[in-house]
Structure 1
Amino acid sequence: MTNTPTNWTSRDDAAVEHMIRRGASRRELLKMLMASGVAVAAGGTLLSHATAAVAATPTTGGTLKAAGWSSSTADTLDPAKATLSTDYVRCCAYYNRLTFLDGAGTAQMELADSIESDDAQTWNIKLKSGVQFHDGKTLTADDVVYSMNRHLDPAVGSKANSLAKQMAEIIKVDDLTVKIVLAEPNADLPTILSLHHFMIVADGTTDFSTANGTGAFKSEVFEPGVRSIGVRNDNYFKSQGPYLDSFEFFAIPDNNARVNALLSGDIQIAAAVNPRSLRMVEGNDAVRTSISTAGNYTNLNIRLDVAPGEQMDFVEGMKSLINREAIQKSVLRGLADIGNDQPVSSANRYHNPNLAPRDFDPEKAKFHFEKAGLLGVEIPMVASDAAGSSVDMATVVQQAGAEIGMNLTVDRVPSDGYWSNYWLKSPVHFGNINPRPTPDILFSLLYSSEAPWNESQYKSEKFDKMMVEARGALDEEKRTAMYWEMQEMVANEAGTIIPAYISNVDAVTSKLGGLEANPLGGMMGYAFAEYVWLDA
């Protein structure tokens, strides 16, 4: 049974789909339908069907321009050293991982044909055959062994070193088989291997002035801190994609400028749009938004190893001075879940729902500031547009402090160089953390004593031991209980304040198809180039 009008034909369906592809607005389409004698209700149904059909039908060709929010002269094509979203976008386009995460957060095979283990400690990885690098070299186990070992070499400086240290042995079994033996069992290994840093490079690669990967695109232009251009790899091993002829990626740090570039047609994707700018795109049929909540957050970091964070009363005071509800509603326009000062968001199955967020309590904050002898002392909070919404968050905190006599200043610095010059270095500063799929990855990267991105210099032997034990626990109930306790430890002991888990908003042209949410972050986990297409 269908509610399609009897005088409506498949030819008419095609006409509607063509108009959608050409960018016709919903109002224009309904007007055309009603002129053909279609009722409004039926017209809405027809449009939904046609829009779905268009969205499900990839088209090939065209060049896409996308703008992120940050870049640096330290931009790299070396997956092991990737730090910013711009690095991740390039890595996803030019290389492949052994696995990748689908929209549900499940590890699927990519370069691997299978990854199996009987005890979560010894893993056998079978590779796909016939995969070629951009220079024509065929993928073998040697490439995987070399890529994994790079993360263990101190000279490389891999950002995933703390994760890779779990790999006690990385052995070539035959040309298409690799065995990885972990120091301790870890059932999350297939998920860990889906992270951007674990892209596979060719055996012996030391020059990353260009990219020689197996990915959907070949690197044509790479200008660190400026732009990247990739062109379609016609010898790609997957049966579908990429659909674009080429793509260009660069950063427009100013949020409004990024949105205006989209509205003017200069770009087709404006990544990580500030919620305040949504009114610029609302009601505009030429653009739409892609919204996902996967655990991204902007946090206020207080280093515990230098003043004023050396005094725990200052940290406690700041945690009570954060008006989380105001940040969620006013700064983030409701596009966020209130956070409880630990990195495992409510989107993760290991999130501790019993850990209540700190109350906004200015009088309690004042008590701790006075106890620390810091009430009225000028203390700068370093913020930047590079850490999304941090300037607005800092202003909310500053205003709350002023009401109790706390002299917090907002030291707004440029986006360029923020991550290399201020993040992890300034005594009180903001960060912005992309989603990670497991608690172990978050804790290993951000909170263990050896974590490369230990933003508050949190150190706890108990925490370190629990982290190792939890990753190897095959009993789900035990593992969950340990992760819940570790979240409490971070919330109460570390100097990282996470007021909200932010919904990522990418604004895109309405002609863009194929973009879906992904647990690794916005822009489809930064892998959009391979999967999206542009309608003519």
Structure 2
Amino acid sequence: MSKSLAAVSALAVALGLAVMPAQAARTDISVGMVLEPPNLDPTGGAAAAIDEVVYANIFQGLTRFNSDGEVVPDLARSWDISEDGLTYTFHLQDGVTFHDGSAFDAEDVKFSLDRARGENSTNAQKALFAEIAEVEIVDPQTVKVTLSEPNGSFLFNMAWGDAVIVAPETADNNATNPVGTGPFKFGDWVKGDHVDLTKYADYWGEPAKLDKVTFKFISDPTAAFASVMAGDVDAFPNFPAPENLQQFEADPRFSVIVGSTEGETILAMNNKKPPLDNIKVRQAIGHAIDRQSIIDGAMFGYGTPIGTHFAPHNPAYVDLTEQSAYDPALAQELLKEAGVSELTLSLKLPPPSYARRGGEIIAAQLKEAGINTEITNLEWAQWLQEVFKDKNFDLTVISHTEPLDIGIYARDDYYFQYADPEFKKIMEELNDTTDPDKRTELLQAAQKKIADDAVNVYLFQLAKTGVANAKIEGLWENSPTQANDMTQIYWED
């Protein structure tokens, strides 16, 4: 013991004080989530909650989104693109292993991409891989991907959670026992309560600062508030009770983090189901909705009105809100023109508070315009089955949180069943275009097309309203993708 430390200790003893060692910073965290994922395989499910647990934490892709939304290298350390834009040669990271100890190499990349684009693929975003013509192994650390036609969004597509790399030995079990290459490995899943992740000791990159992450599932806003106040949950990145944020802001124990998301919140309509196959009826529903009232009433002012399926923070955004402005009288007139006098529609709502609270307000507004609704509150698994898969609905409220996902309107079998040839041509041209100005022009044409066709009612861009213990650092302010990235999180001493 040094002389100075001995002197301090002697003084402390003389004063009757205990000499306490400095307290180490915590290395565990409990993170709140509104929805429990139906499974933990991002290549085999559409639920955003899957990526919220596993993206960047357990699974990784060739590329990834960072906190600013930029596409950056991940399992691919670099790549070369041929002059014709058809061939991407990916150079893979060295020394990567899966959580079961097996080595990652080009075979895994080929398996994952071929599996995602294959005839029997269950990937919810199979369209991301549509232009891939061939995947070739050059050597264990190099993969060549050849496209059938140029796609200016290919590296962007490879950053989605649906494009993560999985191993052929473990892929079939990833729904319940996910095995990836990320800085955390799967620990435990207590259904209806939580999922545990633990630090992967042999991670190839920068190690995580946390040893353990627990994702706790709390759908009720009141329970979410109580859990954060009591310290049972350390952070709630997408807090479901925005009415409580002012209370947290006034409490120095907490930090409130408000940012933007990629979540276009819509009143989705079944375009093939009469009378919603009539554009005048869809337009009437749009004019019956007061967006700002929903933002104020359901989100306590957090949210930005939108008039098409596109994020306002994107440079290519076009403000089309006036095209479907609140006008109950016009809504009634359009219904008359459509020959509709008595109309009752099902309104099936998933669990998030924006949907349940917003749905009640929407039902009241539609009633004022002469449209009755029958509300059914569904659990998440029910919504995925009845609405998303079976298309057994008239109306629903949902936030689409995937990045730059206007391309979903080009899918014939997508749940709102738009299937418009002209829109598909716009998206095909966009995929063939690399010039930034031309891409912006096409993206704006796509926005205008779905607004003109009143495919859905575009409500608001979901704000990211989070709350956390004030000592936690590294949480994302914005959500460029549906993720709770824990890789850079740490506690202040």
The question of a shared fold, defined as TM-score above 0.5 by the shorter chain, is answered with yes
RMSD value over aligned CA atoms?
2.3
Work out which of the residue numbers 481, 486, 489 in structure 2 matches 1:529.
486
The aligned residue for residue 25 of structure 1 is none
Compared CA separation, residues 369 and 419, structure 1 to 2 (3 A): same
Distance 2:451 2:201 in 1: 49
Q: Secondary structure at the match of 1:474?
A: coil
Q: Is the CA contact (8 Å cut-off) linking 1:381 and 1:409 kept in structure 2? A: yes
Distance 1:103 1:207 in 2: 29
The aligned residue for residue 220 of structure 1 is 187
Work out which of the residue numbers 384, 390, 393 in structure 2 matches 1:426.
393
Compared CA separation, residues 238 and 271, structure 1 to 2 (3 A): same
Amino acid at match of 2:411: S
Distance 1:199 1:255 in 2: 32
In the alignment, is residue 339 of structure 1 matched against residue 290 of structure 2? no
Amino acid at match of 2:399: N
Compared CA separation, residues 419 and 535, structure 1 to 2 (3 A): farther
Q: Secondary structure at the match of 2:39?
A: coil
Amino acid at match of 2:157: I
Amino acid at match of 1:97: G
Amino acid at match of 1:351: Y
Amino acid at match of 1:116: D
Q: Is the CA contact (8 Å cut-off) linking 1:115 and 1:190 kept in structure 2? A: no
Q: Note the residue ranges of structure 1 that are not aligned, 5 or more in a row.
A: 1-20, 23-58
Deviation at 1:225, TM superposition (A): 4.7
Deviation at 1:280, TM superposition (A): 4.3
The aligned residue for residue 9 of structure 2 is none
Q: Secondary structure at the match of 2:173?
A: coil
**TM-score, with normalisation over the residues of structure 2?**
0.88
Distance 1:224 1:472 in 2: 44
Q: Secondary structure at the match of 2:123?
A: coil
The aligned residue for residue 244 of structure 2 is 277
The superposition leaves residues 339-392 of structure 1 with CA deviations (integer Å, 9 ceiling, x where unpaired) of: 00x221111122124674521110010112233344443323222333x41222
The aligned residue for residue 458 of structure 1 is 418
Distance 1:266 1:318 in 2: 42
Number of equivalenced pairs: 465
Name the % identity: 20
Work out which of the residue numbers 88, 92, 97 in structure 1 matches 2:61.
97
The superposition leaves residues 196-250 of structure 1 with CA deviations (integer Å, 9 ceiling, x where unpaired) of: 11111123432223122111111121345542111101111113x3111111113
Deviation at 1:487, TM superposition (A): 0.7
The aligned residue for residue 8 of structure 2 is none
The aligned residue for residue 259 of structure 1 is 225
Q: Secondary structure at the match of 1:181?
A: strand
In the alignment, is residue 70 of structure 1 matched against residue 35 of structure 2? yes
The aligned residue for residue 161 of structure 1 is 126
The superposition leaves residues 55-107 of structure 1 with CA deviations (integer Å, 9 ceiling, x where unpaired) of: xxxx86522111211125xx223221133233113322212121122233221
Distance 2:342 2:243 in 1: 31
Distance 1:369 1:160 in 2: 36
Q: Secondary structure at the match of 1:81?
A: coil
Work out which of the residue numbers 254, 277, 283 in structure 2 matches 1:287.
254
The aligned residue for residue 448 of structure 1 is 410
Compared CA separation, residues 175 and 137, structure 1 to 2 (3 A): same
Work out which of the residue numbers 325, 328, 335 in structure 2 matches 1:362.
328
The aligned residue for residue 17 of structure 2 is none
Distance 1:272 1:497 in 2: 23
Work out which of the residue numbers 321, 338, 351 in structure 2 matches 1:372.
338
Work out which of the residue numbers 105, 111, 122 in structure 1 matches 2:75.
111
Matches within 5 A, 1:225-264: 225-239=192-206, 241-264=207-230
The superposition leaves residues 461-498 of structure 1 with CA deviations (integer Å, 9 ceiling, x where unpaired) of: 12112211112212222221111111111112153211
Q: Is the CA contact (8 Å cut-off) linking 1:291 and 1:505 kept in structure 2? A: yes
Distance 1:404 1:218 in 2: 52
Amino acid at match of 1:447: Y
Deviation at 1:513, TM superposition (A): 0.9
Q: Secondary structure at the match of 2:32?
A: strand
Compared CA separation, residues 416 and 163, structure 1 to 2 (3 A): closer
Matches within 5 A, 1:372-391: 372-386=338-352, 388-391=353-356
Q: Is the CA contact (8 Å cut-off) linking 1:230 and 1:246 kept in structure 2? A: yes
**TM-score, with normalisation over the residues of structure 1?**
0.81
Compared CA separation, residues 391 and 376, structure 1 to 2 (3 A): farther
Deviation at 1:164, TM superposition (A): 0.9
Compared CA separation, residues 407 and 249, structure 1 to 2 (3 A): same
The aligned residue for residue 195 of structure 1 is 160
Matches within 5 A, 1:394-413: 394-413=359-378
In the alignment, is residue 495 of structure 1 matched against residue 462 of structure 2? no
Q: Secondary structure at the match of 2:286?
A: helix
The superposition leaves residues 236-287 of structure 1 with CA deviations (integer Å, 9 ceiling, x where unpaired) of: 1113x31111111131111221121111111112242232332442312222
Work out which of the residue numbers 151, 171, 184 in structure 1 matches 2:116.
151
Amino acid at match of 1:243: K
Amino acid at match of 1:89: E
Q: Secondary structure at the match of 1:94?
A: coil
Distance 2:367 2:412 in 1: 37
